[in-house]
Structures are given as C-alpha cells and as structure tokens.
Structure 1
Amino acid sequence: MTATRKHLLSRRSLLGALGAGGTGLALSACGVPPARVAPGDRARTDLSEAEPRVDFANWPLYVDVDEDTSRRPTLDAFTRRTGISVRYREEINDNDEFFGKIGPSLINRQETGRDLVVVSDWMAARFVRLGWVQEMDRARQPNVARHLDPQLLDPAFDEGRRSSVPWQSGITGIAYDRRRLGREIRATADLWADDLRGRVTLLSGLDEAFGMLMQGDGVDITRWRADDFHRMCEHVEELVDRRHIRRFTGNDYIKDLASGDVLACQAYSGDVIQLQADNPDIAFVVPEEGGELWSESLLIPNRARHKANAERLVDHYYDPETAAALAAWVNYVCPVPAAREVLASSGDEETAALAEDPLIFPDAAMRARLAIARDITPRERRELARRWNTMVGL
C-alpha cells in the first residue's frame, strides 16, 4: 500500500454554524411536523442484485482523489472488486441543510435517492431518534465487526452502532503557534491568560464547541447537565465582555492562525496536521482536562434502493488497507486501528510517519483524555441554542 499526504482544505472545517436546530423551524414552516418512522415502514424491496450500484452522498474533500486525475482510488477499487458502481456526490456542506434537503422525503416514507450518507454524530442522533435510518446487516460487514475502534463502538444515540458506522473521527482541542506565543499550552484555562487577550478564537458552532469548553470547567461531558452548559456560557460571556475572545469562527480560524492574527484557538485535529506541513511551529494539544472525540458516521436512509450494496461499501472502508489509504489522505482519526500497521509497513517514509501520529492513531495516554459528549436532546436544544447563538452573534 502506498499513500501520499495531501494538503487540502479540511472538510471538517467547512462545517457551518447551523448546529442550532434551525431545521425544526424549516420543517414547521412547511407545515410538516417532524415524525418518527416506525421500524416496519423503513425498508423497501432491495434492488441491489438487479441494480449493481450505490448512491453515496458525502462532504467535500472527504475521500482520496488521484493526484493526476479526478479518479477516487478507494472507490474505484470497490467497483473493480465487486462490480458495483458508485455514484458519489459531494453534496453535504452543512448538517442542518442536508437534513432539510432529504427530510421531507423521509417524513413522507419516500426514497431520498441516496443509499448511503455521512453526517456528524450529533445529526446522526437526530436521524436515529426519528427512525429515519435502517439497521445494518453485520453479516455483510465482517470488517466492521472485526476492526471498528472499540472507543467508538457504543455511542449513546445508537447502542452497539446498529444503525451507524463511523466514517472518520477527530478531536476538538487547542491549536497554537508555539514560536509566536513563546510558551506551551497544556490546559483550556491557559487560553484565558493575559498574553492571549484578543488573540484567541473559539468555534462558533454549538455542537462543535461546547464539549471541550465544558471539559475545561471539569465537567464529564458523557453526562453533562443544562446547569453545566449555562455555567460554561457565563464564563465565556465574561471573556467576550472583556474582549479576551477575538471572535467565534468557522473554518477561518485556519487562516487566522497561519497569519499570526490569532495565537491560539479551538481547533480540529485534522486541520492542524495539514497546517503543520507548512508551519511546524503550529502545535495541537488535547487539554489536560480532556478533549472531545467526535465522529462523522455512515447511515443508510429509509427506503434506500440498494441497501445490501451500501452495506458492502461500508465494509470495504473497514478493510485495513482501504482504511489506511483513506486515513493517509484525510488525516483525521482513523476508526480502524488495524490500519496503523498498514501505514507503518508502507515502505514510504512520509506515509509510515502517519502511523506514529497520535492525531490519526491516538495512543493510550491521549485516549484517556478523550470523551464523546452526550448529544443535545430535542427538548434541550431550543433553549441552549438560543443562549449560545446570542453569545456568539449568530
């Protein structure tokens, strides 16, 4: 296996700040209240054998692309091996926007035109809660059963990962310019030191930001309460009032950190790996109090025409060789630990180095500081989003 690192704008950094539940408003405006679909209404006749194809919707820049052509090597390999063609669409630019796009079909028990989609786990929780996705048949997925990272196996929203499988994972932590700052950052509290006044940014998206910030207050984010959230907001509001926080950002923290306008920021691990290729002084730290481990997951929507084919494609990406090729391209936390050995034995020095990168394959010490936040329930979301959005100016 040979893989080459690509220094691309990260897909994760394209997430907008619409994690506030705006989709509920959109559905209400259409006069169609959100409706849970019963298990018996989720499937249709599977046409996988008659139609050897699969329709796959994903985020931009989230699968490997050949350096000289527009081919996608790992998808092409699946088609060669199985004879199943893949219609691959980079059409997901925001979780809520995509929810609104396919939601009307799912509410009305209709096909979405997609057999496989990738959304952030907080949005996957919404799909699972509404009964908008089908359980996968693990008999068709021996690689998933064998190789899925145990730390990602049992999220609160989908016990045993029956209806979702991680595509890639990542860590929300702190990025900073070690040379310009002139000191180390080890804890979230280090962001509030006087020498960072006006030179620090936080993420603007509620679901992307709140976990690490609450960990900085000593909260166990696997079981946080509304009081924990409001106490964290009070602290952040004080920092905003003192103009300590420069601003709240989406993907543009990358530009600010690279230019030196910002010295430290809340950031995603995969972005920083790419920044370090151009500036080795950029560091990423999982705070001593902990960092949030998140995933974007593969789901099979209700009424998918090619469910069996989709399940086979999911399993293809859990083959360690395939997972290694994808990890070498996207540089996020690989959900297949066995891919580490594939990269280590690649024979290419740069590729082999990825196997030792704890931001792709977290070691035991880092894993001990990572936690998966429980998701925000529908009942909580309206109140919490209102306060968060007011604070960040959305």
Structure 2
Amino acid sequence: MTRTSPHAPSRRSLLRTLTGAAALGTLAGCGVPAAYVEPGDRSAKDESAADRRLTWANWPLYIDTDDDDPGRRPTLEAFEKHTGISVGYTEEINDNDEFFGKISPSLMNHQRTGRDLIVISDWMCARFVRLGWVQRMDRSRQPNVAEHLDPLLRSPAFDPGRRSTVPWQSGITGIAYDRRRLGREIRGVADLWASDLKGRVTLLSGLDEAFALLMQGDGVDITRWTTADFHRVCDRVEREVRRGQIRRFTGNDYTKDLVSGDVLACQAYSGDVIQLQADNPDIRFVVPEEGAELWSDSLMIPDRARHKTNAERLIDYYYRPEVAAELAAWVNYVCPVPAAREVLAASKDKDTAALADNPLIFPDSTMRGRLAVARDITSAERLELAKRWNTIVGL
C-alpha cells in the first residue's frame, strides 16, 4: 500500500543564512559567549534504570501506523511491550532550521531540551556535532546498529564512525522525469540542459538539498568537493536561468509540476517518486551515470538527556532487520538496514514482498556504486556559499 511521503513541503527546507551554527559563530565574535559545549558538560545523570521512559521528537508521518487506527504505531508499541519502556512520541519537527531555533537556547546554555531522542537531517546533524550538542552513543548497548548499519552510511565526514548519529531513514537525490511525455530517456545531469526541456526543468531551492547532485554532474567527487567546485556549478546554473532552461526552483512542490506535465524533468527525492509511480508508472527516477547523493535523517541524543540508555535501546531496536523491514514497508525510503530486504522478500503478502526488489528502497549493486554521501558545508563556508546560491534562486 502506498502512503503519503513523509517529506512535508518544508521537510528539506530552504537554508536561512542567519540561523544555525553560522549565526552563532557570528554572534560569538560580537561578545556573545561561544555556543560550543565541551565533552564533559554534555551528559547528565542517566535516569533510565529508575525511570523507564523516554521522549522522542520526529517528523510527521515518519513512522509506521495502523491502517485501521492511525493513532497506533505498531513497531513502537512492540518496543514498549518488549522492554517496558514508555515512549512519549511527538511529531514536532517540520523544518530543520525551525527546530534548531527551538532547542538551541537550551543546548547553548547547558540545559535539558526535554527530549531524549531527535531526528534531523544530516546536514543539520553536522552543526550539532560541531557544536558539541549531542552525546556519543555506547555501541555496547547497540549490537544491531554495529552489525546491520549500511556500510555506505557508516562514516560521514561530520561524524566518523557514526558515534553520535545513527540514520533513521535515507534517501537519494536524483532526477525524476515523465518518460511518456518527454519521449526519451534521461541518463545524467547534463540531459537537463537539452533544448527539448527548455522551460520544463526545476531544481531544488535549498542549498543543502541541491548542490551535491549538480556537482556530480560536473564530475566532482562530492566526498571532497571544494568551494571552487561549488562556484563552477553556480556559474552553470546561472547560465541556464538566463537562457530560460530552468522553470523555477522548488521545495517538495516539484511533485505537482511533474504530475501536471508543466515540468518534464526535475531534481527529486527517491521516496517521493515511489509515491508518484503508484499513480503514474511513466514517472521514472534516475540515479545519474555520474552519481547521486545518498542522504539521511538521523537519530541523535541531545546533551543532558535524562534517559540516554533507554534512547540507545530504542535506536538498536529499530536496527533489528524484522523491525527495519516493517518500517521500510511503510515509509518507502532507502532502508539503512540492508538485511531487512530478506525479511520483506519472505513476506506472504505479494505487494510487501515486491518492495524487496525496489531499488529505491534497497539499491542494487549498480546503483550503490553510484551513490555517495556528500561532505557537508562547514560553518566557515556557509555564509559565502549561501549568499551565492540564494542570489541565483531569488531568495
């Protein structure tokens, strides 16, 4: 059964250049105390043994629910029953920057956030890690994470070894197009600049969402890109804007343009396209020959969380292949637990078993060879790059 994509319109949001770590760094230079938290100040007394509960903040529609009772979350209820740990689950994250602003005053002042577990996009996780706003996890309590985490996701540049973050779900930023309306295949980023697509192409408006795929189209290794690589891509995008190739820059509303036919090809997220294909099988998703970006929304335990051990147990529970399979069957994003594929393949339900062969949930070896996790934008780079990008986009 298909379901609404978990990515709400603001999900992978526009960059706000005066928020987040860059703004905090600027303020520190103006006499405001630095926001960095030393390792010794990140933890508090862990009350997990005596207080068997935890509070978890996540995005809307990003966990399995019961078809007959949307208020029930089967995998979460099973965890509570198995462990005796009560979970206060809140769908309060609608935008990375907005949530950053919501909890940053507590974190920069060494105070509790009221949350034991949060899920945010990796580019924002990078800010938290640099600022020392998250605790390192105890892998001795997480054998399933150690065994089953996808090797492609194990060691991003901002968190080597994934000591402070664990992917909740992943996705691919690639190209979506309507094969019937276009009348030909699209194989790479360069195809977006073809004359028969003039005025019928959209790119993502968010800096963190858009830049990696465009660099890959320029032959750049996104695990080690430079600012020169970035500005070269911007030069190309500016030329395409001037000649009318790009219809507009979008958030998740690119799906409406693709469905209506106003747009024939666009930057897109793999999970969104799975939903669109249920109604229109002519919509295709391409991992370009030059490669595509593999990204994650990740679980983190913020500083001074009261129930760290309980949170670590919950994270590890979702890395059991049978639990990861149940979640993947609902959210339809790239599953960070490859072993879940065998669980789905063994399902007696034909539609569920078919998900095991969907490369947008379990990328095949050819696709995996084209995927890379981009080096994140550092705080020192962010203001310069955001200024250039936002001028092009029109922000």
Q: By the TM > 0.5 criterion, same fold?
A: yes
Quote how far apart the aligned CAs of 1:22 are.
2.5
1: distance between equivalents of 2:151 and 2:22?
36
Quote how far apart the aligned CAs of 1:32 are.
4.6
Which residue is 2:228 aligned to?
227
Matched residues, number:
390
What does 1:1-394 align with in structure 2 at a 5 Å threshold? Answer: 5-11=1-7, 14-18=11-15, 20=17, 22-24=19-21, 32-69=32-69, 70-394=71-395
1: distance between equivalents of 2:152 and 2:17?
27
1:20/1:206 contact within 8 Å kept? no
Q: Give the 3-state SS of the residue equivalent to 1:355 in structure 2.
A: helix
The answer to which of 93-102 and 172-181 deviates more is 93-102
1:17/1:206 contact within 8 Å kept? yes
1: distance between equivalents of 2:140 and 2:8?
31
Seen in structure 2, the aligned counterparts of structure 1 residues 259 and 158 have a Cα distance that, compared at 3 Å, is: same
| Matched letter for residue 91 of structure 1 | E
1: distance between equivalents of 2:32 and 2:65?
39
2: distance between equivalents of 1:294 and 1:344?
25
Q: Give the 3-state SS of the residue equivalent to 1:380 in structure 2.
A: helix
Seen in structure 2, the aligned counterparts of structure 1 residues 12 and 143 have a Cα distance that, compared at 3 Å, is: farther
Q: Deviations over 1:10-46 (max 9, x none)?
A: 3265322136452357656798555211111000001
| Matched letter for residue 202 of structure 1 | L
1:340/1:355 contact within 8 Å kept? yes
Seen in structure 2, the aligned counterparts of structure 1 residues 187 and 12 have a Cα distance that, compared at 3 Å, is: farther
1:21/1:96 contact within 8 Å kept? no
1:106/1:112 contact within 8 Å kept? yes
1:19/1:207 contact within 8 Å kept? no
| Matched letter for residue 65 of structure 1 | T
| Matched letter for residue 124 of structure 2 | M
1:21/1:385 contact within 8 Å kept? no
Q: Give the 3-state SS of the residue equivalent to 2:357 in structure 1.
A: coil
1: distance between equivalents of 2:27 and 2:303?
23
Q: Deviations over 1:74-108 (max 9, x none)?
A: 11110010011111111111111111111110111
Q: Which runs of 5+ in 1 are unaligned?
A: none
2: distance between equivalents of 1:21 and 1:259?
35
| Matched letter for residue 79 of structure 2 | F
1:15/1:93 contact within 8 Å kept? no
1:57/1:90 contact within 8 Å kept? yes
2: distance between equivalents of 1:240 and 1:113?
45
2: distance between equivalents of 1:122 and 1:7?
26
1: distance between equivalents of 2:6 and 2:203?
17
Identity %: 73
1:257/1:263 contact within 8 Å kept? yes
2: distance between equivalents of 1:38 and 1:270?
37
Q: TM-score, normalised by structure 2?
A: 0.96
1:7/1:277 contact within 8 Å kept? no
2: distance between equivalents of 1:165 and 1:347?
30
2: distance between equivalents of 1:160 and 1:10?
27
Q: Give the 3-state SS of the residue equivalent to 2:314 in structure 1.
A: helix
Q: Deviations over 1:230-258 (max 9, x none)?
A: 00000000101111100000010011111
Q: Give the 3-state SS of the residue equivalent to 2:192 in structure 1.
A: helix
Q: Give the 3-state SS of the residue equivalent to 2:229 in structure 1.
A: helix
2:317/2:323 contact within 8 Å kept? yes
Q: Give the 3-state SS of the residue equivalent to 1:174 in structure 2.
A: strand
1:19/1:95 contact within 8 Å kept? no
Seen in structure 2, the aligned counterparts of structure 1 residues 200 and 362 have a Cα distance that, compared at 3 Å, is: same
Q: Deviations over 1:177-217 (max 9, x none)?
A: 00000000001000100111110100000000000000001
Seen in structure 2, the aligned counterparts of structure 1 residues 350 and 360 have a Cα distance that, compared at 3 Å, is: same
1: distance between equivalents of 2:252 and 2:335?
21
2: distance between equivalents of 1:274 and 1:32?
46
2:136/2:164 contact within 8 Å kept? yes
